[in-house]
Structure 1
Amino acid sequence: MAKVIITCAVTGGAHTPTMSDALPVTPQEIAEQSLAAAEAGAAILHLHARNPENGAPTGDPEVYRQFLSVIRQRSDAVINITTGGSATMPVAERLRAAMAFKPEMCSLNMGSMNFAFFPAAARISEWKHDWERDYVLGSDDFIFRNTFRDIAYIMESLSDAGTRFEHECYDLSHLYNLAHFVDRGLVKPPFFIQMIFGILGGVGPDLENLVYMKSTADRLFGKGAFQWSVLAAGRHQMPFLTQAALLGGHVRVGLEDSLFIERGVLAVSNAQQVKKIVRILGEMGHEPATPAEARTMLGLKGGDRVEF
């Protein structure tokens, strides 16, 4: 493809403020970094919210409201609100913002899984906030729950809003779960598959896994039914996205997925990561898709039909 959709996942719910001073926490920081990422070439902004006092993940729509309106007023980027939140939130809490604002897109984890990041605690001796240490260490006991009932509930809750999904597939089984919902008629082409590699609890960041995930998706859905994108956690981010782009995939960057810009060097912003992947894509002869082009490829309803 000549045009590649770049998604930027701006803050997430796993990394904590102690891990990087660049991680946006307040609504103002999230808005500013989102706008800079869009200016750098991101067509889609994947957004979580955080408690502005201590950086803890939150599903509170009033926190989302403070940055969503700013981003929409100043950018044409597609806004993608998480339904993942964090592994500690029940599904109703994770869905609150999406239900309130009815965005063009939401993320949707396509199955339950272990979701762990506790090894990161070994590198930290002092924490900025009291909640962080227990949250990170406790992830060795996290199960991110999205049962078939949960997934159907999320899809059906947003069906009247015309919201489409970034179907997050952390393992091969999640593609088969997605196929189940295609068969049930709850997912219709063109749908957007985000293949995720390198999370502790999901599929590993090996090229063989990427090739097999893509070939399985082709077999299950047919090549014209979906667009596919790749993200990889931590140090695997840029090398793995380069491999995905060579295979014709779209890409996702952002401080949710990796706090680094190169080995051992923390990124200073989300925009820095976007600029780097734009340069890499350019050297392959690709261009970043505009928000309008992403909307066409993904069959989105348009930014004028959201409620923020």
Structure 2
Amino acid sequence: MSEILITCAITGSIHVPSQSPYLPVTPEDIATQAIDAARAGAAILHLHARDPATGRPSSDPAHWAAFLPRIKAGTDAVVNMTTGGSAVMTLDQRLAAPRAMAPEMCSLNMGTMNFALYPMAARIETFLHDWERPFLEGSDDLVFKNTPRDIARVLDEMGRERGARFEFECYDLSHLTMLRHFVDRGLVEPPYFIQFVFGVLGGMAAEPDTLTHLVRTAERLFGGDFLFSVLAAGRMQIPMATMAAAMGGHVRVGLEDNLYLSKGVLARSNAEQVTLIRGLVEGLGREVATPARARAMLGLKGAAGVAF
């Protein structure tokens, strides 16, 4: 496949504002950075919300409503809303905004896992908000819960009822097996858009051999009915994405996954990372897909079907 989908994950729920002044927190910053990333070549925008007063990850539909219409007005890129939210949120909290907004796409974590962020705390000299240090340090006892019952509920409420398609986030080989289970139950239809997630402590390390094994496993489980994309948290973001592109896969970048543009150099925007990976994948002979092509490739319902 010559066409390549670039996803940009704009802000996430892992990094804290103290780590970078460029991490978008306010609705204005999230919308502006999302639109700029789309202009740089991102066909899909993976989104989380934050409380603009504190920078804390938020599940409040009002916080989402403050930037989603601006993004829709400013770009035709596909909006992909998280159903993962934050590991400290309940499933009801995580689904509150996606249920209200009925996006074209949602992310869906394919299993329960340890989600350890605490090594970050030691690298921050000054904390801007009082919630940040306890949030990071307490993650040595943090579990992101997404049981088969939870996954089935997301598939039902967001997929069957609202017509969303999914970015299946697989942090482990077992998550592919879980996806196959839901295919066998008839709850998921092709094409399956699989996002291999590397670099989160509790999931897979960013190692090339692991990626090749995952792709072979997905081929065995799903035949030709899947597309795969790669994100790597931290310094392996660009190397692993480039490897994915060379293998015929798709890529995800963004400040949710990595705050840097190169060693020791903070990315000043999400668009900088999109521009960087776009140059690399085009150098490999890949053609960057437009939002319209992304919708066709993934079988999305279209922007007219959303509720924002």
TM-score, scaled relative to structure 2: 0.99
Alignment of 1:87-102 (within 5 A): 87-102=87-102
Residues in 1 aligned to 2:138 and 2:20: alpha-carbon distance in whole angstroms: 20
Contact 2:193 2:226 in 1 (8 A): yes
Q: Secondary structure at the match of 1:256?
A: coil
Whether 1:60 and 2:60 are equivalent positions in the alignment is yes
Match of 1:11 in 2: 11
Alignment of 1:41-120 (within 5 A): 41-120=41-120
Contact 1:227 1:297 in 2 (8 A): no
Q: List per-residue Cα deviations over 1:138-187 (Å, max 9, x = no partner).
A: 11111000000000011111212110110000000000000000000111
Q: Secondary structure at the match of 2:67?
A: helix
Match of 2:236 in 1: 236
- How much has 1:303 moved relative to structure 2? 0.6
Q: List per-residue Cα deviations over 1:251-273 (Å, max 9, x = no partner).
A: 00000000011112111100000
The unaligned stretches of length 5 or more in structure 2 are none
- How much has 1:201 moved relative to structure 2? 0.4
CA RMSD of aligned residues (A): 0.6
Match of 1:290 in 2: 290
- How much has 1:276 moved relative to structure 2? 0.1
Q: Secondary structure at the match of 1:273?
A: helix
Residues in 2 aligned to 1:246 and 1:281: alpha-carbon distance in whole angstroms: 8
Match of 1:214 in 2: 215
Whether 1:259 and 2:259 are equivalent positions in the alignment is yes
TM-score, scaled relative to structure 1: 0.99
Q: Secondary structure at the match of 1:274?
A: helix
Residues in 1 aligned to 2:125 and 2:22: alpha-carbon distance in whole angstroms: 19
Contact 2:82 2:107 in 1 (8 A): yes
Q: List per-residue Cα deviations over 1:227-280 (Å, max 9, x = no partner).
A: 110000100000111111111110000000000111121111000000000000
Q: Secondary structure at the match of 1:130?
A: coil
Residues in 2 aligned to 1:269 and 1:252: alpha-carbon distance in whole angstroms: 15
Residues in 2 aligned to 1:125 and 1:232: alpha-carbon distance in whole angstroms: 25
Identity of aligned residues (%): 57
Contact 1:278 1:287 in 2 (8 A): no
Q: Secondary structure at the match of 2:205?
A: coil
- How much has 1:125 moved relative to structure 2? 2.1
Contact 2:2 2:248 in 1 (8 A): no
Contact 1:189 1:226 in 2 (8 A): yes
Residues in 2 aligned to 1:264 and 1:139: alpha-carbon distance in whole angstroms: 25
Residues in 2 aligned to 1:233 and 1:34: alpha-carbon distance in whole angstroms: 19
Match of 1:203 in 2: 204
Alignment of 1:119-198 (within 5 A): 119-158=119-158, 159-198=160-199
- How much has 1:214 moved relative to structure 2? 0.5
- How much has 1:67 moved relative to structure 2? 0.4
Residues in 1 aligned to 2:287 and 2:121: alpha-carbon distance in whole angstroms: 38
Number of aligned residue pairs: 307
